[in-house]
Amino acid sequence: MSKAPSNPGRADDERGGNPRRAPLNIDLALQGGGAHGAYTWGVLNRILEEDWLTIEAISGTSAGAMNAAVLASGYASGGREGARDTLNRYWRKVADAARFSPFQRSPLDVLLGRWTLDTSPLFVAMDMMSRVVSPYSLNPMGTNPLTDILAEIIDFDAVAKGPIKLFISATNVRTGRNRVFRNAEITPQVLLASACLPTLFHAVEIDGESYWDGGYSGNPPMTPLIEESTASDTILVQINPVERPGTPRTAREILNRLNEVSFNAVLLKELRMMALLQREAVSGSGEGARWARMRVHRIASDAMTELGYSSKLNAEWEFLTMLHDEGRRSAEAFYRTHRDEIGKRSTLDLAEFTKGV
């Protein structure tokens, strides 16, 4: 992949005289969130239509890791259209597998158009059991429905040699530290480790160490993008709400909010560090200066605050496509508002966004 200019300019648009941006390398930071990752699918679908933006690197966790690897695989063999097609096939396979899942919406929720599984008898039973019974007892064989899908959809050799750098995070169970896996290290097991919720699945063993979901230690980690990519613009696709109005009062609401807070904590601390470095930035080179120069953009949707934890396990095609469409709308709104600022300045006020962290 050829390097894009670090200071993009403008060119005439052949499609009708509108100004066209010159090529620009960007990085992507993709959060995890189970089925809510379909929102990120929609965002990526729209980003891939912007042919002036070249994806240099992606940092991903959990569902973000799946999206990252699927995109990189499709891009390596078929360019932008190959990436979009492979993402579509992956999420279609997830939905097809979910037709046999015991976790289905109740008839009342279907009738009322609610995506939650909170009133699904089997989900309620599983949720209660997961707090007192180990997944090693509930699922003694350690099966995961994503295993075959990942092996079928992703060409891991293409990912290893492809032009897009990947940084996939998982949490080392023994040390509690984040481990970042890079292209040549990525396998189905690495992706399953990045998405391993310890109350539902066995820890995934890699190189003699056990791993849980990367969201506990970095969702997603920003440091590899700063240190190992030449791009100066990072688009964060956030699916876990940072703020949620009101105080949760039911047990389920409290657990849902705890999940969101814990899965945003490390990311907010990294962004806070960037904000502090930007405030103290001086001319010069070095790692600190690069952190300070990074331009950060964020794509998110208030619609995600309407969804609770249980819907992260709802992989119905209608739900996934709804999230996909919301992701495309969010990306389109971002471009309409900030297109001319990408490559020039941050569109996310890090100091304000991380205030109080």
What are the pLDDT digits (tens) for 137-189? 988 888 898 999 999 999 999 999 999 999 999 999 999 999 999 999 999 99
Average pLDDT of the chain is 89
- Closest residue by Cα to residue 228 from 303, 153, 317, 294: 294
- Closest residue by Cα to residue 332 from 89, 72, 113, 42: 42
C-alpha gyration radius of the chain: 20
Q: Residue 3: pLDDT above 50? A: no
pLDDT confidence of residue 142? 87
% of the chain residues with pLDDT over 90: 68
pLDDT confidence of residue 291? 74
Task: Specify the DSSP element, H or E, that contains 108.
Answer: helix 107-112
* Residue 115 CB neighbours (<10 A): 19
Please, is 309 exposed, middle or buried when counting C-beta atoms within 10 Å of its C-beta (0-12, 13-18, 19+)? buried
Confidence band (pLDDT; 50, 70, 90) for 7? Answer: very low
Taking every pair of Cα atoms in the chain, the longest distance, rounded to a whole number of angstroms, is 64
C-alpha to C-alpha distance for 95 and 281, rounded to whole angstroms:
47
Note the pTM of the prediction, 2 decimals.
0.90
What are the backbone angles phi and psi of residue 297, rounded to the nearest 5°?
A: -125, 155
pLDDT, tens digit (0-9, with 9 covering 90-100), for 215-245: 999 899 999 999 999 999 999 999 999 998 8
pLDDT confidence of residue 281? 64
